[in-house]
Amino acid sequence: MKGTATRRPGIAGFALFTLVVTALFIALGIWQLQRRVAKHALIAALTERLAAAPVALPPPAQWPALNQAGDEFRRVTLTASYAPLPDAMVYSSGSAIRKDAASPGTWAFLPARLASGEMVVIDAGFVENTMQDRAVQDRAVAKLVTGQPAALTGYLRFPEAPGLLTPAENRARRLWFVRDHLAIASALGWGAVAPFYIDLEQPMPENGIPRPGSLDIHLKDDHLQYAITWFALAGAVLIAFGVWVRGRQRGPPRQVGS
């Protein structure tokens, strides 16, 4: 059999592959830089909202215009009476924005009625409740439902969406695993409620249970690190391609003969 040159991958094909992968990595790096700019703007906005003096809760006519991007964490004041309706527990493995609620427990969600008749949902605070015991929260919230109006200060919050691994609620124990006050209100028969809920800052109950408190938001900002990683990978791919091309040009085709 006559000697023939062993086929080797063509430079053009490998160059195209390298170009596509490099462009992908660069695009991911640019995307991380764009996310970093957006994250810095969000941090600045949230810092401003948390530091601002509380304002009166917007009237119901303005509620449809409120949204998470523009109004989440705004401090507001309101006067409302806790309604004599079933409360809900929302499980927490530990809060990233409440230093005093870093251990497992539950958030006490209660419906409250404004003087104008509208219903708002109040996250009245944290309950040390590692076993999610319904009796623990029943005792905790019983003193809140007096039927008398209370002056409240808190933060506007909007419902969370459950993740793929979020457990289903336990309606018998009135226990949820995501802060979706709209779903809770529907399940427990609270009627129509505001599109937001109030994360209570004050007042503090005499026994401190449930425990409201100030929010302290520290958002992770690793986007520059991720961008550098993607750009470094793009550079590594180009270097690897250059080494491959150089080695190909230096080494003559191997001959296979019979």
38-77 per-position pLDDT tens digit: 778 777 777 888 889 999 999 999 999 999 988 999 999 9
pLDDT of residue 215: 87
In this structure, are 246 and 146 located in the same domain? no
pLDDT of residue 5: 46
The ranges of the chain with pLDDT < 70 are: 1-9, 218-219, 251-258
In this structure, are 150 and 186 located in the same domain? yes
In this structure, are 194 and 98 located in the same domain? yes
pLDDT of residue 257: 53
Closest CA to 210 of 99, 125, 110, 107: 125
In this structure, are 104 and 144 located in the same domain? yes
Neighbours of 181 (CB within 10 A): 28
Residue 3, in any domain of the structure: no
pLDDT digits (tens, 9 = 90+) for 193-205: 999 999 999 999 9
Question: Residue 47 to residues 34, 38, 73: CA-CA distances in angstroms?
Answer: 20, 14, 9
The two beta strands, 75-82 and 197-202, are: unpaired
pLDDT of residue 130: 85
User: In this structure, what token pair is assigned to residue 155?
Assistant: 């933060």
Residue 2, in any domain of the structure: no
CA distance 68 to 215: 16
What pTM was computed for the model?
Answer: 0.73
In this structure, are 23 and 117 located in the same domain? no
Q: What's the domain range around 108?
A: 74-202
CA distance 124 to 137: 11
pLDDT of residue 253: 55
Residue 87, in any domain of the structure: yes
Place of tokens 């690190």: 225
pLDDT of residue 220: 75
Residue 238, in any domain of the structure: yes
Residue 129, in any domain of the structure: yes
In this structure, are 224 and 165 located in the same domain? no
Closest CA to 74 of 100, 53, 44: 53
CA distance 91 to 236: 45
Contact between residue 154 and residue 199 where contact means Cβ atoms under 8 Å apart: yes
Q: How many domains does the chain have?
A: 2
